[in-house]
Chains A and B, each alone.
Chain A
Amino acid sequence: MASEQRVNRKKSPVLTLLTIVVIALMLYSLLPLSYLLREKGQNRDNVAGFYAEEENTLDVVYVGASSCITFWSPLQAWHDYGFTSYNFAHHTMTARTVKYYIIEALKTQTPELFIVDLRPFQYADGPNYETGTDNLHAEYAIRNGTDHLFYFNENRRDLIRASVPEGERLSYYADIIKYHSRWVFIPFALVQGETDFFDFADNVKKNPHKGFYTATRTRPLTFTDYRDVTEVSPLPQQTDEILTELLEFCKEKDLQVLFVVHHYPQTAEEKALYNYMEERVRAYGLDFLNANDDWESIGFDFDGDMYDSNHTNIFGAEKYTAYLADRIVTHYGLADHRGDAAYAEWDALYETYAEETAAAKEALLSGVSEDAADE
């Protein structure tokens, strides 16, 4: 009982100090542990990898959803044209969040050019909290990015506020709430000697492919050319507002932006949507490019260059990168850094990359590639 518990407890400054130190250590460990428990994979490599890029060294930042990751190869562009770029892209990036990734990029980089993938704007009826469709996908559409950004980040907070309904945001802000039970991976990694598990402890790890993923599978696709469709069909109101917001933002920040449409077997309706986006983008004095219109001059082969209907394989990536890089250099006059000692890392990374892609292409041609069923 309380009254008889007036025990004289020992007071020890040493124990008090120990307590303070241990509690401080525990608090301090939460941040790296939280980073370590996050989902691994392409999204992590791309988003957290962006933080590893040296400040103000990127000429081009490529923002968008997963197709960017397979279409644009920064190291190839470097090797052929001498400008630096990075795919600041993750799977299922939503239209609403594109702006926030540009803001995040501007924190450490001053690129000459942003390339923005317009695919997210086409998926107005895709997974979306706002329309209440497919909440699980909607959740990951956000998490694929926010779960890899730094903590204590105002921009990240704004992104979550803009995208996640009130009341569900806590586990986005502090994603350890979602992933905490993965602590089992830590002793597991230690036992297995997987030291690279701990590389992400500070949420920064160099991405040796600069955000590119070598896709090794071929899926032949039926392609119908809708280049000549000139109809214009407006975006749904909500998506249109998001686009306006993004365009206003680009204008306000005086950014040079090229909005692109990756080639894929699009429908006439989709072409009409992109026609509308083109009008909107050009009205703001920004650039627009629909690669579908140029598929012939690119030399694109829908039988051999696609991984699936949204993504290229390595062959398609090479063709698209060559086409776009040439165009960028012609239009935007980017400086050629090749030979500059400060960029030596890029040459080294290219060496490895070239070997890897050569092997990948060989595997693809000889048929020893990923099975089509693994999608």
Chain B
Amino acid sequence: MTIVSPSFYALTAVFLLLYYVLPGRLQWAVLLAASVSFFCFAGVPYTIVYLALSALVTWYAANKIGEAKEKEAEGKGEAKRWLLLALFVNLGLLAALKYANFLLTNAGAVYGAVSGTAVQWRVNWPAALGISYYTLQLTAYLADCYWGICKPQKHFGRLALFSSFFPQMVSGPISKYDELGKALETEHRFDAENLREGLLRIVVGVFKKIALADNLAFLIPHFLHADVAGTAPFPLLAMLCFVVQVYADFSGCMDIISGVALLFGIRMTKNFDAPFTSRSIQEFWQRWHITLGRFLKEYVMYPLLRTKTWAKMGKGLKKSFGKSAAKKIPTYVAMLILWFFMGLWHGGGWNYILEGVWFWLVIVSGDLLTPLFKKINAGFDTEAAWFVLFQRVRTLLIYAVGAVLFYFPSVTDGLAALKEIFSPFFFAAPEKISAQITGFTELSGTVITVGQLAGMGFAFVLFLINAHLERKHGGLAARIAHWPVSMQVLLSAVLLYILIFIGAYGPGYNAAEFVYGGF
């Protein structure tokens, strides 16, 4: 069961009905039942024990932390012990289930290098659905309780719901307790406005995912195929397709998730805010996967910077390198750790870590070069349209480099691809390009058709329109909120109708394995 499968919406509809029909004080139980059902349909059912264990440990530890904090000073050590214990269990589970193979592979490589005998160490432990999201969410909750930002939830069922709320198990967001937990505690009455907005968001999200992302995903191997490899502009197109695919996929999922949550009267934390209108990569990361960046900043980087070690580092640097270095270097080191985890969070692979480090490099260089840029930019109006556009394109390309590293599991392949993309900035001879492009409707093989290129162009145009709508209005759903309801229904229906034909779904939607064309 994926969030674009009909069965997901059937499940949602059933629980939605129960949610508003049953008394409000049972709403949390309906949502918990929905979440458990979704977990079992969409994931490996038995792995729910991991989720249950994390929720249980977090619930118990948070309450202990709360009790200890009431004792004022003498409770401080106790609170800290409970915090560390719960973090150890939760992060330990995450490390074991998600990163065991990464650790084993690297350990194996080291062992192999030392001993001279190659080893293949692997485990096959299915991870719990959403473990990367709920673990961080519970970590933030524990820290919030420890820091006194929120009060521990006494009711285990409600904390279990906060841990497992079904719309966000697939791709987040990583919510704080003050946002999602509070919303789940509140009783919600049926609201036609929420229904309208929720459904619109779902339609937009499904369209992004099935019409744009999945179709582009299908195109990429065509552009990377051996027949065209290394022929500009195909590698570049592959990269752009991937950027748009990742965005359409991820933000489409977020649209669906927030739409589904809204049906239940719950407003999710914003996770995307027109990222591709960002003028710097720093701004980009404040607009892209916002809640992950926020988590790493507030729960990893800030606490690090406030440790005694970092304070000492600053003082030490001040003595030998001066004030400026003392201010910057500790922050850069903490950021490196943040970006390391940002990369690692995406998966156990060096390519992900390299991706994170790449963004760190860009941001730190940008920071170091700020005085120089200021001098250069003094000569013209930095708010001029051309300069804003230049900055946006530059930001997109910086992100795209990271995306290429993300795409290839092997770092070597990723770097080779980057070389291919950016070194031949002269284009291949027109004859050579046109030789790789065939008729309009050819459906088989690895050739690139005019139809596919047209579809890609269409997807890019929609991407730009969407970026504009997001920047100006907060997305299509918000843009048309004041339209008459009938027009909103009509637009949704037209989108769904188009989706029937251009969507990437069904068996062999892109293939045409005509077994018996003749006989």
Chain A residues proximal to chain B, CB less than 8 Å: 1-2, 5-7, 9-12, 15-16, 18-19, 22-23, 26, 30, 33, 39, 41-43, 66, 91-92, 136-137, 140, 144, 171, 176-178, 180-185, 188, 308, 311, 374-375
Contacts and interface: CB of A to CB of B under 8 A. Distances in A.
Given A136-B513, A181-B501, A375-B519, A15 B487 contact: yes
Contact of A11 (B482, B484, B497): B484
A7 B497 contact: no
Given A39-B514, A137-B515, 4 more contacts: A1-B267, A2-B191, A22-B493, A188-B440
A9 B519 contact: no
A184 B518 CA distance: 22
B417 to A, nearest CB: 28
Contacts of A176: 500
B interface, size bucket: 35 or more
Determine chain A's interface SS by DSSP, over half rule. helix
A185 B512 CA distance: 13
A26 B490 CA distance: 11
A7 B493 contact: no
Given A178-B508, A178-B509, A91 B501 contact: no
B197 A5 contact: yes
Contacts of A66: 516, 519
Contact of B509 (A2, A16, A180): A180
Contacts of B399: none
Nearest to B496: A26
Contacts of B483: 9
B328 to A, nearest CB: 39
Contacts of A184: 440-441, 451
Given A136-B513, A140-B516, A15 B484 contact: yes
30 contacts: A2-B191, A2-B193, A2-B194, A5-B193, A6-B193, A11-B485, A15-B484, A15-B490, A19-B487, A19-B493, A23-B490, A26-B497, A39-B514, A41-B516, A42-B518, A43-B516, A91-B519, A136-B515, A137-B515, A171-B506, A176-B500, A177-B505, A178-B507, A180-B500, A181-B510, A183-B502, A188-B440, A188-B441, A374-B518, A375-B519
Contact of A26 (B197, B267, B493, B512): B493
Interface of B: 191, 193-194, 197, 267, 440-441, 443, 451, 481-487, 489-490, 493-494, 497, 500-510, 512-519
A91 B516 CA distance: 8
Nearest to B196: A5
Contacts of A178: 506-509
Nearest to A7: B482
B509 A181 contact: yes
Nearest to A183: B501
Contacts of A26: 493-494, 497
A19 B489 contact: yes
Given A180-B506, A183-B502, A15 B486 contact: yes
B450 to A, nearest CB: 10
A30 B498 CA distance: 11
Given A5-B193, A5-B481, A16 B505 contact: no
B509 A18 contact: no
A247 B197 CA distance: 59
B381 to A, nearest CB: 35
Contact of B484 (A10, A92, A137): A10
Contact of A181 (B193, B490, B502): B502
Contacts of B509: 178, 180-181
Nearest to B513: A136
Contacts of B197: 2, 5
B486 A16 contact: yes
Contacts of B484: 9-12, 15
A10 B517 CA distance: 55
Nearest to A186: B501
A22 B494 contact: yes
B258 to A, nearest CB: 12
A92 B505 CA distance: 27
Given A16-B486, A180-B501, A41 B481 contact: no
A211 B184 CA distance: 65
| CB-CB nearest 6 A-B residue pairs | A177-B506, A183-B501, A19-B486, A19-B490, A16-B486, A140-B515
A5 B195 CA distance: 13
Contacts of B497: 26
Contacts of B440: 184, 188
Q: Quick one: which of A1, A15, A91, A188 has the most chain B CB within 10 A? A: A15
Contacts of B481: 5, 7
Contacts of B503: 180
A15 B483 CA distance: 11
B493 A23 contact: yes
B441 A41 contact: no
B491 to A, nearest CB: 9
Contacts of B505: 177, 180
Nearest to B483: A9
Nearest to A66: B519
A30 B500 contact: yes
A1 B510 CA distance: 40
